[in-house]
Amino acid sequence: MRPLSTAVTIVLAAASLAATVSLSHAQSCQALWVERNQLYKNGGYCFHTTRAINYFGNAGCRYDSEAAVPLSRAARSRIAAITRAERNLGCGG
């Protein structure tokens, strides 16, 4: 078996790096989404999306509006920071 050429090796390495970055990005987006929504869940928010309902459920929820959820100033600040990070990473909904 012939060794791979340098160009092929570089292309394969770049493809592997791109796949790793993509997976890392997806994991980062997922982690941010979970952290942000866990704060709302802890406050009693009633989720409306299928994704959030499937992940967190709506048992014991009391508030239909995110703005109505009684969260501390620190929690609201953390949610704002997470939202900025999601936007900067290009995370989808």
| Residue 43 near residue 70, CB atoms below 8 Å | yes
- Stretch 31-57: mean pLDDT: 97
- Stretch 14-25: mean pLDDT: 48
Separation CA 14–CA 74 (nearest Å): 41
- Residue 22 pLDDT more than 80? no
Q: How many domains would you assign to the chain?
A: 1
- Residue 10 pLDDT more than 60? no
Three-state SS at 92: coil
14 part of a folded domain? no
20 part of a folded domain? no
2 part of a folded domain? no
Which residues constitute the domain of residue 67? 27-89
32 part of a folded domain? yes
pLDDT band at 19 (very low <50, low <70, confident <90, very high): very low
- Residue 11 pLDDT more than 50? no
Query: In the chain, what is the straight-line distance between the N-terminal and C-terminal CA atoms, in Å?
Result: 47
16 part of a folded domain? no
70 part of a folded domain? yes
